[in-house]
Amino acid sequence: MKQQQATTQQGWRQKLLNIWFLLQKELWSLWREPVMLLLIGVSFSLSIYLAGSSLPETLHKAAIAIVDEDQSPLSLRIQSAFYPPYFVKPALLALDEADAALDAGRYSFVLNIPPEFQQDVLAGRSPALQLSVDATRISQAFSGAGYIEQIVTAQISEYQHKHRSNTTLPVELVLRARFNPNLKSAWFGAVMELINMVTMISIVLTGAALIREREHGTIEHLLVMPVTPAEIMLAKILSMGAVVLIATALSLHFVIQGVLQVPIEGSVLLFLACAALQLAATTSMGIFMATIARSMPQFGLMMILVLLPLQLLSGGMTPRESMPQLVQYLMLAAPNTHFVQASQAILYRGAGFAVVWPQLLALSLIAATLFWLSLARFRATLSKMA
């Protein structure tokens, strides 16, 4: 009995040693791939910084021109109401220059003040102003038109009443923005980009590691060694998952909290534990996809088909509640859905384990299922090669 236990312990010890040596091999192989290292570095630094800083939080330095056919004190007052940082200093155009300026893309907005505008306003009539918008600049066109309408309305009202009047509503509505009081888009964009990078890079690294070995012929060397498919697969998952997890922690600390100054409300360790479960699922997914694809170009095309639904339908871009019910139910089988929910709850709202344990449980079950399916597919692939 003791001899049997000793043999079992020795067998487990040998399996752990095999996984450890294979893990080191995977890390050395990654270290000798400068393109992959560059991809990891850029994805967890520059990409996250750009996602948090490239989109303006509000209208910012929008180009506007004014066609002033009235030349009245009211029209001059409206001109002076547009100033930085929302708008650049308005340019004055003639009426026949407006369309050409919009066609050339020099301005996002052209406001036309008609003749006798002030006279009509003082007479109680409702003169029309024409606002031409370059809708190809969609980020500014949507919010800018509303800004201009509010500015012009406020200036006309103040000119008429000699003071700025506010409409008294029968009910007072008090707005309070929780978790992001200043409504800064960087707080959302940077964190969501990090979540997306965890999924994308983990799939790329594990899939590329297997395809690279198959293309270089080193997978045949592993087949003649005393290692099992489970040990080979575990080494790839653990090594690539550890690299992505370390990159995630560094990016969260130095880029998101350091450079972008995004406050993290919850436990970073709990978020990393959630990320580890997500990595267990996505690295297994990468192995599964690599057993189907015959080359890196095929693997890249498969990634497009997999990543787009994962990122667009998981609730990271738009709330899941706005999606069709069928899509909501189907996406419960995707690890990204639960990872996004748990990450947002932890990083934005400071949620603890008592709040996110259902998502962690779902991630664990999905990761175990994907690992089992990937291992079965990996064994079948190796048996064909043997």
pLDDT tens across 245-258, in order? 999 999 999 999 98
Q: How confident is the model at residue 56 (pLDDT cuts 50, 70, 90)?
A: low
- pLDDT score at 310: 87
Using N-to-C axis directions, what is the helix angle for 335-347 and 268-292, rounded to 10°?
160
Per-residue pLDDT of 124-145, as tens digits, reads 888 889 999 988 877 677 778 8
Per-residue pLDDT band for 1 (boundaries 50, 70, 90) equals low
Question: 59 or 335: whose pLDDT is higher?
Answer: 335
- Residue 226 near residue 199 (C-beta atoms within 8 A): no
**Residue ranges covered by each domain of the chain:** 17-54+186-385, 64-161
Structure pTM? 0.76
Q: pLDDT at position 3, please?
A: 61
- Provide the CATH topology of domain 64-161: abc type-2 transporter like fold (3.40.1710)
**Average of per-residue pLDDT values in the chain:** 85
Give the confidence band of 364 by pLDDT, cuts at 50, 70, 90: very high
What pLDDT, on a 0 to 100 scale, did the predictor assign at position 163?
54
Most confident stretch, 51-60, 75-84, 177-186 = 75-84
* Res 104: pLDDT: 85
Contact between residue 277 and residue 270 where contact means Cβ atoms under 8 Å apart: no
**78-82, 91-95, 161-165: which range is least confident on average?**
161-165
- pLDDT of res. 273: 95
The first and second tokens of residue 336, run together, are 């990204």
For the segment 198-207, the average pLDDT, to the nearest whole number, is 93
Return the higher-pLDDT residue of 345 and 166: 345
* Distance separating alpha carbons of residues 218 and 153, to the nearest angstrom: 72
Percent of the chain exceeding pLDDT 90 equals 30
Check whether 119 has a pLDDT greater than 70: yes
Q: How far is CA 379 from each of CA 49, 125, 206, 230, 293, rounded to the nearest angstrom? A: 41, 81, 16, 8, 15
CA 5 to each of CA 1, 8, 323, 347: distance values in angstroms, whole numbers, following the listed order: 6, 5, 55, 46
C-alpha span between 203 and 283 (Å, rounded): 5
Residue scoring higher pLDDT (283 or 317): 283
Omega before residue 85 within 30° of 0, cis? yes
What does the pLDDT average to over 96-105? 87
- Percentage of residues in the chain having pLDDT higher than 70: 92
